[in-house]
Amino acid sequence: MLDDLRDPKPEKIRCDACPVMCFIADGKSGACDRYANHAGELVRLDPLTVIQSGAKAVAFLDQGNNAQDWDGDVIQGGRDFVTAVGAGTTYPDYKPAPFIVSQEVEGVDMVTVVTEGIFSYCGVKVKIDTDRHIGDERAVVRVDGEAIGHVMTSEYGSKMLSLGGVEHLTGGSKKEGRVTCDALLRLCNREAVEMMIDGGVTMVVEAGKAPIINGTPEKLMRVGCGSATIGMFAKQWHGHVDEVVVVDDHITGVLSEHEAGKGLDMTPSGIRINGRRSTPGRYFQVADPGTGWGGTDVEDPLTILRPADPKRAWPGLRLLMISTTGEQWAYFILDDDLEPQPADITPELLVVAERIAENCEPSLCSVLFMGGAGGSLRAGVTENPVRLTRSVKESLTHVSCGGAEAYVWPGGGITVMVDVMDMPTNSFGYVPTPALVAPIEFTLRREDYGTLGGHMEHIQPVAEVVTQDVRRVAQLALQSDPNDRENYGWSKRDK
């Protein structure tokens, strides 16, 4: 009898938002921290996010492909745009997307299908603006000792990393997958991640911030390679110095030999450089890669010089050696033995050194999420998934991620890439399978959606979706608080 009077033990409910299928007690969240049991109802913890704009709306192209004063800006076209951030998932993916929203834009019925995709095939490409040598190409990148990616080919003034991918998420040990997923999640949500590169540096990477390499924050991205630096500033050096050597890991420049110096009728100086000569005034491999001058291992620039040519050099020759960021420079005058001796730099040369630095852009880390949406999440959009893929390729359907412009790679499937700095904060989640959860939206005309075999009976007018419980993000201020659940309330999952 007493047992009957006791409060019944709250029952757990099962979440089917991902393959983990958590059993969640009342007041608790699942393993992903995205879904919770709220008085026996499964709810999405983060609110649905809407990007707001007060500008006039624009329309798609008409059937005849004639422009209707449309600049091609589908997403930020002056209307409230329902993103997939906080929308929920479609797993198992035969279900319609959580929100299929209709909106009239200048007389054209538009549909936006939003869902948070579970991406096992995903990763990030990281661009790091620095001349420093961070590690050899193909060197393994590690977090907490686990391999999460590798160093890619260098770009102009930047180092590149390829991190994540299905091989690291699911192809290695459980710890490797867990660490990789956590690192990707933090990078995509603009958090700092410390990583180590085999044979290279320790580095802290955070989207939109300067990289911290071996404990030192980077400041400037190179103005150009050594040859390009000479091309830009040769005229400003002319008449104030007899020779300039711009030290660079890739292409070290020598002014008097360079075509720019010849065009200014400069006298060949006889200053000779270690390394492999390419075209006149351009030298490769003057030193090993490193964290010194111009991305080399050089701390003393004179170490890249060979003895001066006595047939051309002369006592009193004025020599400036400078890095590609203008941060390091040294001024010398040749003595009677044609040996460079340190001297006080002239004001004119100092101005040019400062101008080089002025022309360098700030050193930043850029994080681009990349994922394959060619899988079963397409079933949340249409009963015939290949039609969605074809519609995207034919530019009838516009793809975005959290309202941000997404680049769709050519070829098969729907492989997207997006700058996380263009997305609302905290756009990404995870499931412990492990995989990232990322927002993705498909926008197209209602009649085209019907042609796709879309879930027409699940379309909701935008007025029914954009309630007080959603999170509103200004179009030009995507830095709002991502965790203000108290103000925004709970966002119920569409079951």
Partners of 283 in the β-ladder: 252, 277
Exposure letters 232-248 (e unless 16+ CB within 10 A, then b): ebbeebbeebbbbbbbb
- Give, for all 495 residues of the chain, the pLDDT tens digit: 455 555 555 688 888 888 888 999 988 998 888 889 888 888 888 888 888 764 333 333 333 333 334 444 444 455 688 999 998 888 877 789 999 999 887 778 999 999 999 999 999 999 999 989 999 999 999 999 999 999 999 999 999 999 999 999 999 999 999 999 999 999 999 999 999 999 999 999 999 999 999 999 999 999 999 999 999 999 999 999 999 999 999 999 999 999 999 999 999 999 999 999 999 999 999 999 999 999 999 999 999 999 999 999 999 999 999 999 999 999 999 999 999 999 999 999 999 999 999 999 999 999 999 999 877 889 999 999 999 999 999 999 999 999 999 999 999 999 999 999 999 999 999 999 999 999 999 999 999 999 999 999 999 998 888 887 788 887 644 444 444 333 333 333 333
Cα–chain-centroid distance for residue 311? 52
- Structural contact between residues 85 and 95, judged by C-beta atoms closer than 8 angstroms: no
In the chain, % helix, strand, coil (3-state, to 5) comes to: 20, 35, 50
Of 301, 204, 198, the residue nearest 246 (C-alpha): 301
- Structural contact between residues 258 and 230, judged by C-beta atoms closer than 8 angstroms: yes
Q: Tell me the CB-side half-sphere exposure of residue 116, using CA atoms within 13 A.
A: 26
Plot region of 446 (φ>0 → left; ψ -120 to 50 → alpha; else → beta): alpha
| Tens digits of residue pLDDT in 268-284 | 999 999 999 999 999 99
Q: What's the CA gap between 339 and 317, in Å, rounded? A: 10
How far, CA to CA in Å, does 152 sit from each of 136, 139, 404?
Answer: 9, 8, 25
- Structural contact between residues 401 and 370, judged by C-beta atoms closer than 8 angstroms: no
Report residue 65 as tokens: 């492909």
SS3 458: helix
Q: Kind and range of the H or E element at 101?
A: strand 99-105
| Tens digits of residue pLDDT in 435-477 | 999 999 999 999 999 999 999 999 999 888 888 778 888 764 4
3-state secondary structure string, 332-396? EEECCCCCEEECCCCHHHHHHHHHHHHCCCECCEEEEEEEECCCHHHHHCECCHHHHHHHHHCCC
**Is the whole model's pTM more than 0.75, yes or no?**
yes
Q: What pLDDT score was predicted for residue 452? A: 92
Taking the alpha carbons of 408, 414, 418, 422 in that order, is the dihedral positive or negative?
positive
Partners of 474 in the β-ladder: 52, 477
Taking the alpha carbons of 396, 400, 404, 405 in that order, is the dihedral positive or negative?
negative
Exposure letters 278-294 (e unless 16+ CB within 10 A, then b): eeebbbeebbebbbbbb
Q: Kind and range of the H or E element at 202?
A: strand 202-205
Q: What's the CA gap between 339 and 374, in Å, rounded? A: 65
Q: What pLDDT score was predicted for residue 8? A: 56
SS3 254: strand
Report residue 438 as tokens: 């990322």
